[in-house]
């Protein structure tokens, strides 16, 4: 750039109509470069595709395009290498890159913004960013699912109490409990995959809000950037962040699932439960109580749900009441999005490590299935098979349990005569069903905890994840 050009270049890229310079307080208040610098690769990828399209359409010469591409390569290398100086007075990542390009290559650089606005540019950057992050999160979730499936395989056959209301309810296989999380994280993956359909649409070409009179080719840009479709309405395009809300909602569910898991791990690793042992490498100690081994990782995952839920609320609230089309409020989308991406992906990654390094105390788990009359439902089902209506059977078993409590006996410990006091339809064949193993294995209904069903579910999960048993 010549000195002449530099003098004529207004301080702000949009400064032509302004007589006064911007107040320093305003620059500080409006700048987003501190956080949107994270979008530099996406911004540059978008600019490359845009420049190629402009040249194809005769809006740039091939030489101008090549200068732009070379300049963008240099800028990308400088940012990646940490030598690029971000200037807060240039507001955001788009202006920082464009201004530096103009300083590097002069007039050709000043043509890059032809038929483009920061409004469609920023929409593009966020879509590219969320596409990448959704794909990364899908991979991380797969890793987490694998950790559950491996534990389910290792502990296949082990029995534990299943709970409702945190009261012992019915005995279940440990693997059945673990595969419940496999399902939850599977739905989370599906939600991200589905969201990609709506993220993966090219917004560029909407320009400020109304499209452009210049002869652009949006389909070309879409192909360059690997978008299967282009957005249909330019006004909707620059004001739309629905796809980001969907992403944050999907991410929130992931964090909620992790939080529920964390709650179980905190309980299960306590002296009161002693169901699992967390590996030392994944626990921390107390600065005052030498005996302590604390489950800080699950606690932090659980605690971080607060910010993830908050980020979703923030974005929803930002969008509420915005008139069409672009409003600067939308700049506030970025910090919640970035924070959720960071928090959720780190939480998923560490949860996968934690699960892979967890050991189950199978003896203790089995012990806890004794006591609590957890096979009472099995006795009721037995009576149903003997043609007693379920409600009546329920009452009979209720009286039997009351008798057990009084006699301080477990159901399988009752003699046949004792059982017959409550119903003469009870025969010797009831006893196998009153043991926890008998109870678990009788639950052969689809999706139930019977060993056969769980074995099938596990094999199917392994097949889907490509794990070898
Ligand atoms: N930094 C802005 C954002 O994140 C970019 C778009 C600004 N557009 C504008 N007309 N001021 O939303």
Q: Is the CB of 75 under 6 A from ligand 1?
A: no
CA separation, residue 343 to residues 59, 183, 256, 338 (Å): 43, 22, 12, 9
Angle at 129 between CA 333 and CA 224, to 5 degrees: 130
Decide if 261 contacts 180 (C-beta within 8 A): no
Decide if 259 contacts 302 (C-beta within 8 A): yes
**Residue 3 pLDDT:** 33
Distance 167 CA to ligand 1 centre (A): 53
Distance 146 CA to ligand 1 centre (A): 41
Q: Is the CB of 331 under 6 A from ligand 1?
A: yes
Q: Is the CB of 122 under 6 A from ligand 1?
A: yes
Q: Is the CB of 330 under 6 A from ligand 1?
A: yes
Decide if 429 contacts 385 (C-beta within 8 A): no
Say what the pTM is.
0.93
Mutate to test the pocket of ligand 1, among 14, 22, 38, 331 (most ligand atoms within 8 A of CB): 331
**Residue 349 pLDDT:** 98
Say how many C-beta atoms besides its own lie within 10 A of residue 112's C-beta. Answer: 24
Helices and strands (H, E) in the chain, number of each type: 20, 6
Ligand 1 atom with the shortest distance to the CA of 93: 1
Distance 450 CA to ligand 1 centre (A): 57
Phi, psi dihedral angles at 461 (to 5 degrees): -65, -40
**Residue 289 pLDDT:** 82
Q: Is the CB of 118 under 6 A from ligand 1?
A: yes
Mutate to test the pocket of ligand 1, among 118, 244, 329 (most ligand atoms within 8 A of CB): 118
Distance 264 CA to ligand 1 centre (A): 44
- Token pair 């957005």 is at which residue? 231
Decide if 219 contacts 188 (C-beta within 8 A): no
**Domain boundaries of the chain, sorted by first residue:** 21-114, 119-367, 376-434
Looking at domain 21-114, its CATH class is mainly alpha
Q: Is the CB of 67 under 6 A from ligand 1?
A: no
**Residue 6 pLDDT:** 38
First to last CA, the chain: 64
- Token pair 């395989």 is at which residue? 153
Phi, psi dihedral angles at 305 (to 5 degrees): -60, -30
Q: pLDDT tens track of the chain, all 469 residues?
A: 333 333 344 468 888 888 888 899 999 999 999 999 999 999 999 999 999 999 999 999 999 999 999 999 999 999 999 999 999 999 999 999 999 999 999 999 999 999 999 999 999 999 999 999 999 999 999 999 999 999 999 999 999 999 999 999 999 999 999 999 999 999 999 999 999 999 999 999 999 999 999 999 999 999 999 999 999 999 999 999 999 999 999 999 999 999 999 999 999 999 999 999 998 888 888 787 878 889 999 999 999 999 999 999 999 999 999 999 999 999 999 999 999 999 999 999 999 999 999 999 999 999 999 888 989 999 999 999 999 999 999 999 999 999 999 999 999 999 999 999 999 999 999 999 899 999 999 999 999 999 999 999 999 999 999 998 7
Decide if 174 contacts 155 (C-beta within 8 A): yes
Which of 25, 165, 287, 445 does the annotation list as catalytic?
Answer: 165
Distance 92 CA to ligand 1 centre (A): 8
Helix (H) or strand (E) holding 173: strand 167-173
Least Cα distance to 251 among 318, 321, 199, 176 occurs for: 199
Rounded distance between C-alpha atoms, residue 314 and residue 337, angstroms: 10
Mutate to test the pocket of ligand 1, among 119, 238, 241 (most ligand atoms within 8 A of CB): 119
**How long a stretch of residues is the chain?**
469
Q: For the chain, give percent helix, strand, coil, nearest 5.
A: 65, 5, 30
Ligand 1 atom with the shortest distance to the CA of 36: 4
Distance 105 CA to ligand 1 centre (A): 24
Rounded distance between C-alpha atoms, residue 294 and residue 379, angstroms: 41
Rounded distance between C-alpha atoms, residue 58 and residue 214, angstroms: 10
**Torsion angle in degrees (nearest 10) through CA of 365, 368, 373, 376:** -10
Which of 286, 359, 439, 445 does the annotation list as catalytic?
Answer: 286
- Token pair 């050991």 is at which residue? 359
- Domain 119-367 in CATH 3.20.20.70: no
Rounded distance between C-alpha atoms, residue 361 and residue 351, angstroms: 19
Q: Is the CB of 320 under 6 A from ligand 1?
A: no
**Residue 9 pLDDT:** 42
Q: Is the CB of 98 under 6 A from ligand 1?
A: no
**Residue 8 pLDDT:** 44
Q: Is the CB of 423 under 6 A from ligand 1?
A: no
**Residue 7 pLDDT:** 37
Distance 385 CA to ligand 1 centre (A): 69
CB neighbour list of residue 73: distance below 8 Å, 6 or more residues apart? none
Least Cα distance to 241 among 136, 134, 132, 125 occurs for: 125
CATH number of 376-434: 1.10.40.30
**Residue 144 pLDDT:** 98
Q: Does the annotation count 165 as an active-site position?
A: yes
Say how many C-beta atoms besides its own lie within 10 A of residue 87's C-beta. Answer: 14
Give SS3 for 114.
coil
Dig out the tokens for 266 from the structure. Answer: 């905190």
Give SS3 for 81.
helix
């Amino acid at each position: 750039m010549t000195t002449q050009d530099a003098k004529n270049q207004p301080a702000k890229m949009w400064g032509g109509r302004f007589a006064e310079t911007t107040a320093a307080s305003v620059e500080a208040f409006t700048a987003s470069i501190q956080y949107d610098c994270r979008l530099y690769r996406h911004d540059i990828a978008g600019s490359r595709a845009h420049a190629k399209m402009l040249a194809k359409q005769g809006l740039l010469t091939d030489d101008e395009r090549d200068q732009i591409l070379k300049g963008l390569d240099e800028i990308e290398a400088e940012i990646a290498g940490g030598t690029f100086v971000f200037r807060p007075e240039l507001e955001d990542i788009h202006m920082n890159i464009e201004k530096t390009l103009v300083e590097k290559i002069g007039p050709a650089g000043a043509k890059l913004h032809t038929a483009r606005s920061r409004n469609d540019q920023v929409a593009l950057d966020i879509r590219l960013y969320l596409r990448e992050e959704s794909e990364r999160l899908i991979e991380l979730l797969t890793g987490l699912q694998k950790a559950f499936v491996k534990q389910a395989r290792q502990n296949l056959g082990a029995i534990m109490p299943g709970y409702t209301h945190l009261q012992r309810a019915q005995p279940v296989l440990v693997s059945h409990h673990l595969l419940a999380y496999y399902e939850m994280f599977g739905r989370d993956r599906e939600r991200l995959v589905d969201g990609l359909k709506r993220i993966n649409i090219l917004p560029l070409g909407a320009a400020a809000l109304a499209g452009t009179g210049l002869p652009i080719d949006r389909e070309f840009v879409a192909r360059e950037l690997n978008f299967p479709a282009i957005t249909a309405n330019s006004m909707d395009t620059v004001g739309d962040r629905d796809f980001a809300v969907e992403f944050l909602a999907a991410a929130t569910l992931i964090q909620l699932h992790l939080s529920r898991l964390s709650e179980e791990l905190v309980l299960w690793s306590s002296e009161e439960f002693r169901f699992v042992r967390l590996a030392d490498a994944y626990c921390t100690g107390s600065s005052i109580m030498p005996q302590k081994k604390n489950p800080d990782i699950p606690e932090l995952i659980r605690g971080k749900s607060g910010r993830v839920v908050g980020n979703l609320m923030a974005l929803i609230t930002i969008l509420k009441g915005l008139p069409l089309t672009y409003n600067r409020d939308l700049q506030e989308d970025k910090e919640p999005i970035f924070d959720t991406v960071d928090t959720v992906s780190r939480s998923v990654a560490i949860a996968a490590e934690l699960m892979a390094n967890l050991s189950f105390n199978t003896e203790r788990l089995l012990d806890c299935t004794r006591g609590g009359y957890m096979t009472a439902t099995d006795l009721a089902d037995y009576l149903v098979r003997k043609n007693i209506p379920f409600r009546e059977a329920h009452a009979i078993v209720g009286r039997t349990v009351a008798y057990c409590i009084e006699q301080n006996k477990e159901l399988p410990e009752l003699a046949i005569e004792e059982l017959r006091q409550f119903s003469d339809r009870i025969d010797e064949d009831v006893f196998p069903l009153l043991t926890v193993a008998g109870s678990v294995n009788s639950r052969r209904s689809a999706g139930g905890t019977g060993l056969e069903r769980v074995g099938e579910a596990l094999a199917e999960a392994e097949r889907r994840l490509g794990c070898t048993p």
